[in-house]
Structure 1
Amino acid sequence: VCRVYKLSAWTVADLAIIGVPIALCLGRCANFVNGELWGKPTDLPWGVVFGGAAGDIPRHPSQLYEAFLEGIVLFTILYVLSRRRPPLPQGTFMGVFVLGYGIVRFLVEFVRVPDAQLGYLFGGVITMGQLLSLPLIFIGAGLIVYALRANRSQRDYVK
């Protein structure tokens, strides 16, 4: 479609990615309502008792941590960057999103219960979620470096 309408795929990706954190936020809120992907036990005052398979002990509401960080914080960062003039080079927003998403996922895994079938890897040091987040961090950083070095300006239809 981009080729047919002579649109830059990088610019279209940059435009589309700015709204993705809002969808992630809503998805994580749904995880919380459904009592899925709960966190480790906690003594903090905001611990939540999920019941069912999670038991009757307060746990970190890791879904809400992710909703806030992956959703609200990442959206705010992308939105603020999108208001800069002149616009950042093509691919920058995509890189910032992938980097930010990877960092948030890696950090939140410290308070989440790992998948029962996988547990901890490498002698109890890292979870599969953290292992899978590392490539996102490197790819996001690489995209940012590539975008800044290529320095292709956003097209005229982005104002």
Structure 2
Amino acid sequence: MIENVLAAISYTDLGLDPVAVDLGFFQLRWYSLAYLVGIFLGYWYELKLIAQPGAPMARRHADDLVFYVSLGVILGGRLGYVLFYRPGFYFENPLEIVKMWDGGMSFHGGAIGTGLAIIYLSWKEKLNWLRIHDYVVCVVPIGLFTGRLANFVNGELWGAPTNVPWAVRFPEVIAGVQTLGPPRHPSQLYEAILEGLVLFAILAFMFWRTNARYMPGRLMGAFLFFYGIFRFGIEFIREPDEQLRAFAEATGLHMGQWLCVPMILVGLYLMVTAPRRRQRIEPTAGLESVA
């Protein structure tokens, strides 16, 4: 055990700092920067997608979508974390809810917020909400990738103890004293790879190399299904939030896994039923059909 501890990577030796830019009167944290980079790169990629024939929206819709989706991600992600993971703490300390720079965002809450934002824009502009979802989910892995990297930089959401060669000893509070904890799985990096890079590759292949984008719901279904599978599996080697440890022990699954179950089922349903929803498509929203 002592050899494993000595061989593990020390988080403090990596020279990481949650603060990216410190001007004294202003601090820009990597966590906030991850959201900004994810949004800008996502917007850039979204424009590439809607430039292809059959896009369900025009450039003007994409511009509006950035605002609504960003709002949905931030508000939904924060409220989801408050309600799903630490309701007792935040109900007793409501002012802490606005301190998003300290971390604490729920992907599942962000997904709900994003979905509601897309539905609202689709209703407002009379667009096909399911096809817009198909395009939006193709860019989501970009934000997931940058977000998980920020989790690693913050030294949070680490995995369970392990003796693998790449284990990391993160700063932890043990017996009231902050020290380096036992060697753990860097589960944030596992998620960055699977939920970010691998999921992006799957959706990119489906979009560019198949006719999935002409079947409303197929891309969205693939996103929900594969994300749910990846997250469900990684949770087995990820430590549950301290306040939900009893819940995990009582139910046998982490909160994140329970939230992934409906995602997997809905995703599978959308993929299987997508062919029957194939429809006449247009080169650009608002123009005559090319099908």
TM-score, normalised to structure 1's length? 0.88
Q: How much has 1:151 moved relative to structure 2?
A: 2.4
Q: What is the identity percentage for the equivalent residue pairs of Structure 1 and Structure 2?
A: 45
Cα separation, 1, equivalents of 2:270 and 2:216: 10
Q: In the alignment, which of 129, 142, 147 is matched to residue 269 of structure 2?
A: 142
CA contact 2:212–2:218 (8 Å) conserved in 1: no
One-letter code aligned to 2:156: E
Q: In the alignment, which of 186, 198, 217 is matched to residue 91 of structure 1?
A: 217
Is 2:242 aligned against 1:116?
yes
Give deviations 1:17-72, integer Å, cap 9, x for gaps.
10100100100000000011000011001101112238432110000000000000
Give the structure 2 partner of residue 75 of structure 1: 200
One-letter code aligned to 1:64: L
Structure 2 residue matching 1:53: 3-state secondary structure: strand
Q: How much has 1:97 moved relative to structure 2?
A: 0.4
Structure 1 residue matching 2:243: 3-state secondary structure: coil
CA contact 1:48–1:61 (8 Å) conserved in 2: yes
Give the structure 1 partner of residue 278 of structure 2: 151
Give the structure 2 partner of residue 37 of structure 1: 157
Give deviations 1:77-113, integer Å, cap 9, x for gaps.
0000011254441111111001111111100001101
Q: Would the alpha carbon gap of residues 125 and 30 (structure 1) be closer, same or farther in structure 2, given more than 3 Å must change?
A: same
In angstroms, what is the RMSD of aligned CA positions? 2.2
Gaps of 5+ in 2: 1-120, 175-179, 286-291
Cα separation, 2, equivalents of 1:45 and 1:62: 14
Of stretches 54-63 and 44-53 in structure 1, the one that deviates more from structure 2 is 54-63
One-letter code aligned to 2:236: F
Greater relative contact order (Cα < 8 A, sep 6+): 1
CA contact 1:106–1:129 (8 Å) conserved in 2: yes
CA contact 1:87–1:154 (8 Å) conserved in 2: no
Dislocated runs of 4+, deviation >6 Å: none
Give the structure 1 partner of residue 259 of structure 2: 132
Q: How much has 1:149 moved relative to structure 2?
A: 2.7
Q: Would the alpha carbon gap of residues 128 and 5 (structure 1) be closer, same or farther in structure 2, given more than 3 Å must change?
A: closer
Cα separation, 2, equivalents of 1:131 and 1:4: 33
Q: How much has 1:121 moved relative to structure 2?
A: 3.5
TM-score, normalised to structure 2's length? 0.50
The number of equivalent residue pairs is 158
Give the structure 2 partner of residue 20 of structure 1: 140
Q: How much has 1:124 moved relative to structure 2?
A: 6.4
Which structure: greater helix fraction?
Answer: 2
Cα separation, 1, equivalents of 2:280 and 2:168: 47
Cα separation, 2, equivalents of 1:134 and 1:71: 20
Of stretches 8-17 and 49-58 in structure 1, the one that deviates more from structure 2 is 49-58
Gaps of 5+ in 1: none
CA contact 2:240–2:254 (8 Å) conserved in 1: yes
